[in-house]
Amino acid sequence: MTAGFMTWAEVDLGAIAENTRGMKRWVGDRVEIIAVVKADAYGHGAVPVARTVLKAGATRLAVHRLAEGVALRQAGIEAPILVMAPLQPEEAPEAVRWGLTPTLATPEAAQALHAVAQATGRRTAVHVEVDTGMGRAGLLPEDAVDFAHALQGMDGLTLEGFYTHFATADEGDPSFVMRQLRRFEEVIAALEASGIRIPLRHVANSAAALRFRAAHFEAVRPGIALYGMRPSLEWEPPFPLRPAMTIRSRVIRVWTLAPGESVGYGRTFIADRERRMALVPIGYGDGYPRSLSNQGAVLIRGRRAPVRGRVSMDQIVVEVTEIPDARVGDEVVILGRQGEGEIRAEELAAWAGTIHYEITTRISPRVPRIYRGGP
């Protein structure tokens, strides 16, 4: 057992570096990688991951919220950091203070940022998101040209980038991606016709970066692929992705359940015959989905042990009847590889009725991250 930890996550920084280098080879030297490290790098740890991807070929980082960017700056990260949530006027002083690259979507936010930049003498680079079909944040395409001209009239700001986000890049049918891409290209053409050239255009998340070379432009914004998870189960990535996270625990009790005896809250599992059970200290308080009650499985001695009964806040019970040599102290792998066995985030997500993005991002802070390897 890792000293002091009952359950822990191991993050292989070497895998993240390898995935980043693979992405860089794929997009080529002329395309920048804006590594997405929002949500604590999808649960992997924003600061160590940021340092790793920057050493492995990324040139910029992206987060969703201002506080995430501030935390990276406080950790000494100096690379450009794009904040993708639309800047709120009251956030302007912190954005300028920490040298972040905000996304602008309203005149009020632009004016507030411009005022702070002028007052401090710190010219601030900004990006603009265009909503080409995602239906979330961003300007409508018809408003983009006027907004861009307004920004160019603010000498405290530098209009550095324009971007959009695809709604269906992970799906098999590419038609809506192509529709969004055309809309984005129309916006860029209208900007250029009005005398505005955008230095940094970026539209491609992991799925689009791996699948649509026409969507690369000057930069791509990979996230999930950097962590070794497939952006889609409908098509194969063009190069191998190496999963970076393994979640480990230990068996802390083994006992025999007699016929008619039950496991956990609600007695949702009742033994029909004598069965051997094991207790593992991970639960929904650690981020293990409660929807895996009577659905999930873990690895013990390289073999699968199914979850029996409801997932509790702090622990699960698994059946080891078919693993007769299971003992207290045995290592348990919740996510990752053990011997010949493997449980990937994609499989856990399928059992839980969710997506693999959620599996790693929901692992709670009380599960310590242990870092291995590096660039």
How does DSSP assign 151-191, residue by residue? HHT-TTEEEEEEE---SSTTSS--HHHHHHHHHHHHHHHHH
Same structural domain, 87 and 23: yes
- The CATH number given to whatever domain includes residue 278 is 2.40.37.10
Q: What is the pLDDT of residue 374?
A: 75
CB of 371 closer than 8 Å to CB of 11: yes
**CA-closest candidate to residue 55, choices 80, 20, 100:** 20
Residue 57 tokens, joined: 């070929």
Residue numbers of the domain that contains 309: 245-343
Give per-residue pLDDT as tens, 155-195.
999 999 999 999 999 999 999 999 999 999 999 999 999 99
Q: What is the pLDDT of residue 2?
A: 59
Per-residue b/e over 134-156, b at no fewer than 16 CB within 10 Å?
eeeebbebeebbebbebbeebeb
Same structural domain, 291 and 184: no
Q: Which of 24, 42, 163, 265 is catalytic?
A: 265
Q: Which of 24, 38, 42, 357 is catalytic?
A: 38
Instruction: Look up the pTM and report it.
Output: 0.93
- The beta strands (E) that lie in 46-121 are given as 60-63, 81-86, 101-104
Same structural domain, 218 and 323: no
How many domains are contained in the chain? 2
CB of 245 closer than 8 Å to CB of 41: no
Whether residue 374 is contained in a domain is answered as: no
Residue ranges in the chain modelled with pLDDT below 50:
1
Q: What is the pLDDT of residue 233?
A: 86
Q: What is the pLDDT of residue 311?
A: 98
Same structural domain, 176 and 52: yes
Sign of CA dihedral 205, 206, 207, 210: positive
3-class DSSP assignment, residue 304? strand
**Residue 38 annotated to the active site:** yes
What residue type is 367 in one-letter code?
A: V
CB of 247 closer than 8 Å to CB of 286: no
Q: What is the pLDDT of residue 117?
A: 96
Whether residue 109 is contained in a domain is answered as: yes
Same structural domain, 192 and 332: no
Same structural domain, 136 and 283: no
